[in-house]
Structure 1
Amino acid sequence: MDDDLITLVADDIEDVPAPSSAWVVAVIDDDPAVHEGTRYALSNFMLDGRGLEILSAYSAREARALLADRRDVAVIMLDVVMETDDAGLLLVDYIRRELCEETARIILRTGQPGQAPERRIIVDYDINDYKAKTELTADKLFTSLTASLRAFQQLKRLDETRRGLEIIIDAAPMLLDHKSMQRLAEGVLTQVASLLNVAVAGILVLRESEEAEARFCVLAGSGCYGHYVSRQPAWPLGQEVHPLVEKAFAERSHTFGDHWSTLYVHTSSGSEIVALIEADRALSETDRALIALFTSRLSIAFDNVILYEKLQRANTDLEQRVIERTAELIRANRRLAMQRSDLRRANSFKTEILGTVAHDLKNPLSVILGRAEMLADIIEIDATAPEKRPQMRAQVEHIRTSTKRLTAMIDSLMADAMNDAHDITLRREPVDLAALAREVCDANRPLAGSKGQSLVYEGPDNLYLCGDTERLREALDNLVSNAVKYSALGGEIRMRVSRETGGPGAAQGPELVCAVADNGPGLSPEDATRVFGRFQRLSAKPTAGEGSTGLGLSIVRRIAELHGGRATAESDGPGQGAVFAVRFPEESVALL
C-alpha cells in the first residue's frame, strides 16, 4: 500500500554511480536501516530528467566532513537525535552559519518529536520541512523531496542570477576602463566565462563595415581558438567556426545551442561584434538572460574604445603637427636670435662710436669755449679801436653761444651712450663660470695672438653660480679685451677662476672669483681711484694704438653689482701690471 511505512529490505541495494547531472541528496542518520529504506523508496525517483545521487553520513561528525567536501548537495534529510539529543540541530546551525549554505533544503526527520517541538525548530533553525519518521511513507517522502528539490532549483536560479548581476555590475567599470580593443575583447571573453561559471572557449570578431569581407578582424580568442588572433590573414576562420560567425552577422541576434552560442553586439558607431562561445553544457534560461543583459551593456564599452582609438590617432596627428610647427618656430627663433645678435653688435658699435665721438669732441669744444672767454677779456682790456669793440663782442658771443649749444648736444649724446651701456636687466639661470671663462679666452685668443701675447686659463673644470650668461660673458670679455689692449706686445695674460675666502671689502663667507692678470703699465694712484668710472681715460695708452670709449670697465662694475658682487682692480704700481676681477658672494649666487 502507498501509505505503508518505510521498512528495511532484506536484499542489499548496490550503489550505482549517478550521472554528474543527478540531484544530490544527503541522508544523515545514525540508523543504517533509515539509509537503506530511503534508498529503496527513492530508487526510481526522476525529476526533470535527472535522477538522484544519495550520500550517506551516520553521525553529525561524518556529516560535517561530507558537507564541507560536497557543496553541491540539494536536499539534506537529517535526523535530530544522533550522538546527542541535539546533534542534528547543531549540524543545522553549522550548515547555515559556518558553511553559509543557504540554498540546500533541510528535511528534519525525528523519531522523538516531543524532544524538538516543530514550530520552534522550523523558526529558530531554518528548517525547510519537519517530519516524524513514522509519517514518512514512500509517497510522502516522494512529495516532500520533490517540493524541496523544486525550492532548491528556484533558489539556485535566484542565486545564480544574483551572482551574475554582481559580476555584470563589477565588470562594467573594468570594461569601460579598457583603452585597447584587443584588451576589451579579452576581458569580454573572461567575463562571459565567469558569468556562466563554466570553462569557455571562444572567439570575438569585429566587423567595422558591411562592405568588404576584408574588414573582419579577430580581436581575441580563448581556449582552442586562441591561435586565430595571430593568424594573418585572420579571415576566413575554420570550417566549423566560419559559418556560425557569418550567420550571426547575417541574423544580427543571439543564438543559443547545446554547445555553441553566438552573441551579437551592434555599436552606435556602426561597428558589429560577434562572440562565439563553446561551453561544456547547454546554457540555462538564467544563463541566457544574464548573457543578454551583459551584452546589452557592451555597446557602450566598444564605442568607448573605438572613440578612444580615434582620439589617439587624432592626438598623434596633432602631436606631429605640433612638432612640425615647433620646428618652424625654432628655425624662426634662430633667425630672430641671429638678427638680435646682429642688432646687438650694431648697437654696441653705435654706442662705441657715439661714446668715442662725444668724448673726442667735448675736449676741443672745451678749449674753444675757454679761448672765447679769454678773447672776451682781451677785448675789454684792449684800448685800441674802441669803435670796433661792439662788433668784436658780438662775434665772440656768437662763438660762445654756438660752443655751448654744441656742448649740450654732445652731453645729450653721451647720456644716450651711457643709457645704452648701463640699461642692463638680468635673466637668471645656472651658469658654469669656469666654462664661460674658457669660452671667452678662446674667443679672444686670436686677438691676443695678433699682438704676440699668450692668453692662459687657470681654474677648475666646473664652478656654478646663478646669473645671466650673456651679461657675465660681456663682463669677462671686457676684462680680457682690456688686458689685451693695454698689455705689452709679446706679454702674458692669465685668466683665473676660483673659490676664495672673502678679502677686504667682501661679504662674510667665500666668494666666486674670476680675475684677469696682465703685464701692462699697471695703475697709478690716480688711475686706481677712477678706473671704474664712466668714460674715464687712464694715463696708460693702448699698446697697439687701439681706441677706447672709457665705458668697458664701468659696464663690468655694473654687471657685477647687478649680480650682488663687486669689481676690483689691484696693482703694485706703474709698470707692475694689474689684476682686474669680478667677485660674487657664494651664499647669494651659488647654485644650490
Structure 2
Amino acid sequence: MDDDWLELIPDEAAEAPGRAGTWTIAVIDDDPAVHEGTRYALAGYSLDGRGLDILSAHSGQEARALLAERRDVAIVLLDVVMETDDAGLQLIDYIRRELKEETVRIILRTGQPGQAPERRVIVDYDINDYKAKTELTADKLFTSLTAALRAYQQLRRLDETRRGLEIIIDAAPMLLDHKSMQRLAEGVLTQVASLLNVDCAGILVLREDEREAGDRAPAGSDGAPQGGFEGGSKGGPQGGFCVLAGSGLYGGYVGRDPGWPLDPGIQPLVEQAFAARRHSFGDGLSTLYVQTASGSEIVALIDTDRPLSDTDRALITLLAGRLSVAFDNVILYERLQRANVTLEQRVVERTAELIRANRRLDMQRSDLRRANSLKTEILGTIAHDLKNPLSVILGRSEMLTDLIGLDQGAAPGSDDARAAMRTQVDHIRTSATRLIDMIDSLMADAMNDALDITLRREPVDLAGLAREVCEANRPLAESKGQRLITDLAGPLQLCGDAERLREALDNLVSNAIKYSYPGGTITVRVRAEAGDYVCAVADQGPGLSPEDAGRLFGRYQRLSAKPTGGEGSTGLGLSIVKRIAELHGGRAEASSDGPGQGAVFSMRFPKEAVGVP
C-alpha cells in the first residue's frame, strides 16, 4: 500500500514589530537559562499595543557596550553576581553616573540574596526593584515588568515635557528676534522638528488681510518675492495664501510664482485648517493654526514619521500659542519699515521742495536788491536833477520879491500890479518849498529801505559841519523869532560820510526849529565827552511825553507835539538820524525833563568806532 505522507507546513513567522512600536528591555545575566526562561515567560507580552524587544548581555562588560549603543532601553533585568561578585552593582553606577540614564528602570535579580543584602542595595544604589530569582515567578515577573514600564512611560513623558518646555523657552527669544517673515517661518519649522525630536517635513502658509497682502510681498533669501498658491475664493474675503517657508519634501514650494497650487493631498488640509481655525492632529499629517492680533492667519502643516503623542500635542499647542506674538512682532516691524521708507521719501521730497523754495527766495532777494539799488539810484537822480533847479527857483523868487519891494513909489496905479506879482511869487515859493519837502521825504524813505548803504568815509570836522548846518538853518529860525546858538569845541576830526552826517544834523536842527515856540532858544553843542564825540541839539519846545519816549526814532512815528509854525512832518527825520548814527558805529539818544520842559536830541560817536585819524 502506498505510504501516506504528512507534510508539516511551518507557521508564518510574524514580522518583528518596528522599534518605534515595542518596549526595549535588556536581560543581563551570566546564566543562559535565565535568558531562555525570561523570553519564554514574557512571550506574547503586550502593553498599550506594544510588544517587547528583548536584548541580552552575559557579563557586565558586554552590558556596558550594549547600553552605550542602545539608548532606548526601558527596563534592565540585572543579575548582581556575574564575572565578579559586584559586577551588577558596578553596572548600576555606570548606567546612572556615566550614561546619565535616569529614566531607565532597573530590576535587580539575584540568586544569592546574602551576597547583596536587599536593604543595603536599595539604600546605596538607584534601583527600582529587588527580586530573588527563586521568587520571581512568571506572574510576578509580569507584574514587576508592567509596573516598571508604567513608571518608565511616565518618566519619559515628564522628561519629554521638560525638554520641550526648555526648547520653547529657549526658542521664544530667538523667534522674537527675527525681523523677516520668511526667517521667522523657517525658524518655526526648525523649532517644531526639535520639539518633536523627529525628522519631519513641513510647510508654513500665511493668509493676510487684503490691505496687508497688497502692501507686502514676502521676500526670499535672495530678496526675490516668494511664491504662494492661489487663494481665490478659497482664501475668502480676507485675502490670498502665501507660502512662507517649507522643509523636506515641501521645500520646493518656496520661491514659486503666486498662483502655483499645493499638492492635491495637502491643499485641502490647509484650506480646512483655515476654515476650522483650530489645530488638527492625524497619524502622519498635522496642522497648526495661529491667528495674530493684526488679523493675519498662519497654518503650519507638519508631516512626521510617527503619530504625535499626547505630550507632543500639548507641547506643540503651547508653542503655537507663543507664535502669535512672534508673527505680530515681524508684521509690526515690517509696517514700521514701510512707514520709515514712506517717511524718508516724504522727507526727501520735502527737502527738495524747500531747496527749490530757497532758490526761488534767493532769486527774489537778488531781484529785490537790484530793485532797491535801482530805486536808490533813481531817487538820487531826482535829488540831483530836481532839487538843484528848485533851489534856483526859490532863490529867483526871493530876488523877485526884493525887486518888487524896490519899485514901491513908482508910477501911480502900479500898486495893484505889484500886489498881484507878489502873490504869484508867493505861490511859486510855496510850490517849490513843497516839492523840496517831498523830495527830501523820498530820499529819507529810500535811505531807510536801503539794504546795503555804503558810506564814503573821509576825514570830517564834526564841529565845522555843525557850524555849516546851523548857518543854513539860521534864516528859518529867525523867521520864527528864534535864537540859534552854537557851542562848538575846537575841530573834532572823525572818519565818516560828510553828506550823511550833514543830513542827520540838519534833521535835528530843523526839528528843533519846527517844534520850538516862537521866540525860543535853540542850542547846538559839539564836544568830546567821556571818550566820545557828542552832537547835541537842545530846544525849548513842548518836551517829550511818556508816550513819545516809547516810540522815538521809529519810522513814520509822529510825536504828540505839533510843529509850532504849521510846518509838515513825515515822521522819518529821527529814524534817519538813528540809522546814520548806527552806520557810523554810534547811537542816537533823546532826553527831556517832562512836558513843557524842552528836549535834547543827540548823536554819540565812540572815537574808536569811527576811526579817528
Task: Return the letter of the residue paired with 1:416.
Answer: E
State the match for 1:355 in structure 2.
455
For 1:123 and 1:237, the matched residues in 2 are separated by 61
Q: Residues 372 and 399 of structure 1 are in contact (CA less than 8 Å); yes or no, is this contact kept in structure 2?
A: no
Residue 321 and residue 413 in structure 1: after superposition, are their counterparts in 2 closer, same or farther (change >3 A)? closer
User: 1:504-539 deviations in whole A, cap 9, x for unaligned?
Assistant: xxxxxxxxxxxxxxxxxxxxxxxxxxxxx876699x
For 1:213 and 1:238, the matched residues in 2 are separated by 23
**Cα drift, residue 319 of structure 1:** 2.4
State the match for 2:535 in structure 1.
408
For 2:148 and 2:360, the matched residues in 1 are separated by 91
**Cα drift, residue 162 of structure 1:** 1.5
User: 1:124-166 deviations in whole A, cap 9, x for unaligned?
Assistant: 2111111111122222222222221121112111111111122
State the match for 2:184 in structure 1.
184
- Per mean C-alpha deviation after superposition, the further-off stretch among 337-346 and 285-294 is 337-346
- 3-state SS of 2:249 partner: helix
**Cα drift, residue 203 of structure 1:** 0.9
Residue 87 and residue 371 in structure 1: after superposition, are their counterparts in 2 closer, same or farther (change >3 A)? closer
Q: Residues 351 and 417 of structure 1 are in contact (CA less than 8 Å); yes or no, is this contact kept in structure 2?
A: no
Task: Return the letter of the residue paired with 2:455.
Answer: G
Question: Superposed, which structure 2 residues align to 1:31-430 within 5 Å?
Answer: 31-209=31-209, 211-212=236-237, 215-334=240-359, 355-356=455-456, 359=458, 362-363=460-461, 366=464, 369=467, 397=485, 408=535, 416-419=582-585
Unaligned runs of 5+ in 1: 1-13, 374-393, 421-532, 539-592
Larger Rg: 2
For 2:26 and 2:184, the matched residues in 1 are separated by 44
For 2:239 and 2:75, the matched residues in 1 are separated by 55
For 2:19 and 2:487, the matched residues in 1 are separated by 131
Q: Residues 214 and 235 of structure 1 are in contact (CA less than 8 Å); yes or no, is this contact kept in structure 2?
A: no
Q: In angstroms, what is the RMSD of aligned CA positions?
A: 4.0
- Per mean C-alpha deviation after superposition, the further-off stretch among 156-165 and 314-323 is 314-323
**Cα drift, residue 176 of structure 1:** 2.4
For 1:277 and 1:125, the matched residues in 2 are separated by 43
- 3-state SS of 1:27 partner: strand
Task: Return the letter of the residue paired with 2:583.
Answer: A
**Cα drift, residue 365 of structure 1:** 6.2
- 3-state SS of 1:155 partner: helix
For 1:15 and 1:37, the matched residues in 2 are separated by 21
User: 1:142-199 deviations in whole A, cap 9, x for unaligned?
Assistant: 2222221121112111111111122122222222232222222112111111111111
**Cα drift, residue 412 of structure 1:** 7.4
- Per mean C-alpha deviation after superposition, the further-off stretch among 200-209 and 302-311 is 302-311
Question: Superposed, which structure 2 residues align to 1:496-575 within 5 Å?
Answer: none
For 2:467 and 2:93, the matched residues in 1 are separated by 125
**Cα drift, residue 309 of structure 1:** 2.1
User: 1:464-519 deviations in whole A, cap 9, x for unaligned?
Assistant: xxxxxxxxxxxxxxxxxxxxxxxxxxxxxxxxxxxxxxxxxxxxxxxxxxxxxxxx
For 1:363 and 1:354, the matched residues in 2 are separated by 20
For 1:68 and 1:320, the matched residues in 2 are separated by 64
Q: Residues 354 and 413 of structure 1 are in contact (CA less than 8 Å); yes or no, is this contact kept in structure 2?
A: no
For 1:308 and 1:323, the matched residues in 2 are separated by 22
State the match for 1:546 in structure 2.
none
Residue 62 and residue 342 in structure 1: after superposition, are their counterparts in 2 closer, same or farther (change >3 A)? farther
Residue 221 and residue 213 in structure 1: after superposition, are their counterparts in 2 closer, same or farther (change >3 A)? farther
Task: Return the letter of the residue paired with 1:204.
Answer: L
For 2:451 and 2:244, the matched residues in 1 are separated by 73
For 1:270 and 1:395, the matched residues in 2 are separated by 96
Residue 145 and residue 15 in structure 1: after superposition, are their counterparts in 2 closer, same or farther (change >3 A)? farther
**Cα drift, residue 109 of structure 1:** 0.8
- 3-state SS of 2:202 partner: strand
Task: Return the letter of the residue paired with 1:141.
Answer: L
For 2:327 and 2:345, the matched residues in 1 are separated by 27
User: 1:388-429 deviations in whole A, cap 9, x for unaligned?
Assistant: xxxxxx999569698966993899777523549xxxxxxxxx
User: How many residues are matched?
Assistant: 395
For 2:487 and 2:183, the matched residues in 1 are separated by 96
**Cα drift, residue 236 of structure 1:** 2.7
Residue 363 and residue 86 in structure 1: after superposition, are their counterparts in 2 closer, same or farther (change >3 A)? same
For 2:145 and 2:308, the matched residues in 1 are separated by 26
State the match for 1:20 in structure 2.
19
- 3-state SS of 2:204 partner: strand
Seq. identity, %? 68
**Cα drift, residue 355 of structure 1:** 3.0
Unaligned runs of 5+ in 2: 1-12, 210-234, 374-446, 472-481, 489-504, 510-523, 527-533, 537-575, 587-607
Residue 19 and residue 396 in structure 1: after superposition, are their counterparts in 2 closer, same or farther (change >3 A)? closer
Q: Residues 262 and 274 of structure 1 are in contact (CA less than 8 Å); yes or no, is this contact kept in structure 2?
A: yes
Q: Residues 30 and 59 of structure 2 are in contact (CA less than 8 Å); yes or no, is this contact kept in structure 1?
A: yes
Residue 96 and residue 335 in structure 1: after superposition, are their counterparts in 2 closer, same or farther (change >3 A)? same
For 1:208 and 1:351, the matched residues in 2 are separated by 63
For 2:263 and 2:14, the matched residues in 1 are separated by 45
Q: Residues 205 and 219 of structure 1 are in contact (CA less than 8 Å); yes or no, is this contact kept in structure 2?
A: yes
For 2:40 and 2:465, the matched residues in 1 are separated by 145
TM-score normalised according to structure 1 size:
0.59
